[in-house]
Homo-oligomer: A and B are copies of this chain.
Amino acid sequence: MMRLPNMVAASFQPGGSDIATYHFNSDNGAPVCDQIMNALLSCNQGSETAYGADQYTAKLAPAYSEFFERETFVFPVGTGTAGNGLALGAITPPYGTIFCHESAHIVTTEGGAPEFYSGGGRMTLLPGEHNKVSSATLQQALQRHGIGNVHHMAASSISLTQATEAGAVYGAEELKELTAIAHKAGLKVHLDGARISNAIVHLGLTPAEMTWKAGVDILTFGTTKNGTMNAEAVITFDPEIARVLGFMHKRAGHLFSKMRYMSVQLLSYLENDLWCANALRANENAVRVASALAQCADVVLAHPVQINEVFAVLPPRLSNALREKGIHLRPWNLGGNGEGFRLVMSYSDSSEQIQRFEDACREDAAAWNVGPKDAIPSTVRLD
């Protein structure tokens, strides 16, 4: 595959910089955590029936139904793009449109998966601060679109990202208001939960409160960024959507023959609240990093720090100092004057690594004689 220059370009330098030695690059770069790896080893005994008829897959729906406090249908997939595509395709007809944020991951970097899985649907793009869609914006968009006008496409679904690509989190009330508007207009509601565990622990809600109790019909439940080996799941609470997904999931080649290795990960992910412990660690690391930056002069946070991501514009002085200490940052277009960077923390970051970052910032703060700022500016904006 590496012979394909375009794929190299695509995957090796999304930010355009050499990120070979970078340490806060992405939670996708983290290894598989020990509990998950042990689960994989533990199920690697003897023969099992293929295509999901094994003893582990048999426990999936019960375990997740308990997790979500309601009958739950679970479809394991290997990537978030597959999960989002399948989920949106199951609730959007070929002649339908999906309302979503103009910078949503499904729009910017999933290669047209929503169009592929819906069979020719469209995404209607909405603006919004920190990649969040507001109720007012949604309402206006629905009005402008017109329901049932055959010269337009059918208003079919909405996709919200929790937490957003900017690291922002929808509160339960915000979600309820949005899903109420969507349902009233006949739309189904999808949640892209690539980092949903980080959002849940940030809000201190139950998985049920974060999903179906807030009006979510179907979600992509991400676990890979939080410790598993390419194991995501499309989750729905609607039997009819599940019936359709059964066919789509197989048809697209996401029904694994050796399913046990997917199922055992998704089961282990819930055991000992692993999902929660890993997400908490990642979020805490982000607070440490953001707090360290907050002490430094001329630093601006582009988005609130609510999960395991920090988006910061740094003065050249500081970014150079970090570089010299072997801390390479991933450039990110945040507008403004200085250099923008995205820092993503993970459950697997060593305390030493974070410590080193904190030390570097403390040095900078001291050198520039600036007293520690008291709080992380959680809604600072750039122009």
Contacts and interface: CB of A to CB of B under 8 A. Distances in A.
A49 B19 contact: yes
B52 A3 contact: no
Given A41-B37, A44-B37, A153-B111, A253 B4 contact: no
Interface stretch (A53-61, A205-213, A278-286, A368-376): A53-61
Contact of A229 (B147, B248, B258): B258
Interface stretch (A118-126, A335-343, A358-366): A118-126
A251 B7 CA distance: 13
A315 interface: no
Contacts of A229: 40, 258, 261
Contacts of A4: 73, 242-243, 246
Contact of A224 (B26, B110, B111, B258): B258
Interface residues of A, number: 111
Contact of A95 (B32, B37, B95, B112): B112
Nearest to A80: B257
B109 A151 contact: yes
Nearest to A84: B253
A83 B49 contact: no
Given A78-B254, A116-B251, A246 B47 contact: no
A319 interface: no
A258 B127 CA distance: 31
Nearest to A20: B49
A289 to B, nearest CB: 16
Interface string A300-339: 0000000000000000000000000000000000000000
The 7 A-B residue pairs whose C-beta atoms are closest, nearest first, are A82-B253, A6-B148, A11-B51, A28-B50, A12-B53, A119-B119, A81-B253
13 contacts: A2-B52, A7-B52, A25-B47, A32-B261, A47-B348, A79-B253, A82-B252, A95-B248, A112-B153, A119-B120, A150-B251, A150-B255, A153-B251
